[in-house]
Structure 1
């Protein structure tokens, strides 16, 4: 289901994994990818506006929303960003869009980063919201990072520890994350939060989201190390946005970090915390439209 006004829900099976989402609009194709612990519903404030100029595909990542939640494997390949990126490239191909632009927030931004490396011939432009690369964050981890991003270290613990603890009260956990990372309590609409909760209450979503983070601390780093050693960088134009009051902008020189991983980087902060499309929809939309028009 979708709460995006004017959008049609879809379910497409890509290499045995069904990806759910919503589509609307006409014009150049633009893929929107959400973060943790949300769904494609997080784009509700800006996707309908973008649909006036683009064909918008707002997808749920594997393991999230109404997409399939395959059981993880011991090496966490199932939830590697490489596998999740391949889902989305396959989805866009199946919908008739072999080349497209992509905007990712949080986990979706990490999938976007991997997509730009693995499928550079497919991605015309990309935007990543409120992240610096996983590789850099682990490489430079310190007490400040571990304190702010404690969930990175909690969620990667062996199953079923985080699954059982989160599953005891998933609504408390989800609302705590929105409050912890956001700086604008009024940003989260009743309908959006209800949709996040509907999906996150599913034990399979909790397990899959833990697997996502376990992959980030293992196989994803292996892939990242290979790229760094080979000198592979994001080649397409890359827009980087971050919350002016959030941890990422406070901790990192965001553009400087990204210029070690991409060749054509621009960007700036927008008001609020981590959840840019909901906390600062006007400013986020303006930045995205300007970048995509270039």
Structure 2
């Protein structure tokens, strides 16, 4: 791994995940990512979504670390990673640029090839990562998402009602930033309560850390830019690469009680985007790794090990 202090700075042990170290890694593109790392073995990237940070993986990372070096970044704009201001076309928070962050991070840590698991926004970054760096991503797992372009193209009243933030957060700055910033705790609590269908899945101390980050106006702006990018530049990038497919094996896991599972044939949506797709529903809402971690591990571990047999 990199040791140059200008590239990698240790931040000590995680207060929430045993045997997990925190570090800040400065990338060649100028962004510094907060990264949690644990375990040893082949590298496995776990990338969270909105509104969480790397702590979204706290329930499955210890088991995975018995087999893999688990690398859990905070996305740019989220958690304790850098939060650059947005730009006019939202390219700064495009999934293409966020995928570059992951590729450069793994370069900095000394890993050429790796497996990838992404939830929510992290899965959307993973989609781009698998297209742009096909020789580096060995296997992909996406949790509770259908492709961004598909979801926008098939928007109806049910989707717009359940996922209203897809349309609220993309409004021009500063409308959503000011409205969320007026009471970020209320917005965050209502968002998590509405998405997760397993009471108690987000422990109070974990919610407090999510909220610590969410109170930062720079993160609120970054979240909005992330969604603005998804509705603009990301769609343009997807359209430009509409003939490309994810080459590596892709596993899909989704919550049967959530919006994605109830409104879409998840596997079918990804068969249009990938060459080798499998998947199954789990008895939860939007965040399987937090709601039913044992179920996730029971499917995830065999899938990740297929190339090792």
The 5 Å alignment of 1:189-208 reads: 189-208=203-222
Q: Does 1:88 align with 2:79?
A: no
Distance of 1:224 and 1:177 partners within structure 2: 27
- 1:238 corresponds to which residue? 250
Contact 1:103 1:127 in 2 (8 A): yes
The 5 Å alignment of 1:1-294 reads: 2=14, 3-14=16-27, 15-228=29-242, 231-294=243-306
When the two structures are superposed, what TM-score results if normalisation uses the length of structure 1?
A: 0.98
Distance of 2:33 and 2:278 partners within structure 1: 31
Distance of 1:249 and 1:59 partners within structure 2: 26
Which contiguous aligned blocks of 4+ residues in structure 1 show a shift greater than 4 angstroms?
none
Aligned residues: 292
Distance of 1:45 and 1:251 partners within structure 2: 27
SS class of match (1:187): coil
Root-mean-square deviation over aligned CA pairs: 0.8
SS class of match (2:63): helix
The gaps in structure 2 that reach 5 residues or longer are 1-10
The gaps in structure 1 that reach 5 residues or longer are none
- 2:7 corresponds to which residue? none
Q: Deviations over 1:21-53 (max 9, x none)?
A: 210111110000001000000100000110010
SS class of match (2:241): helix
Distance of 1:201 and 1:245 partners within structure 2: 29
Distance of 1:267 and 1:290 partners within structure 2: 13
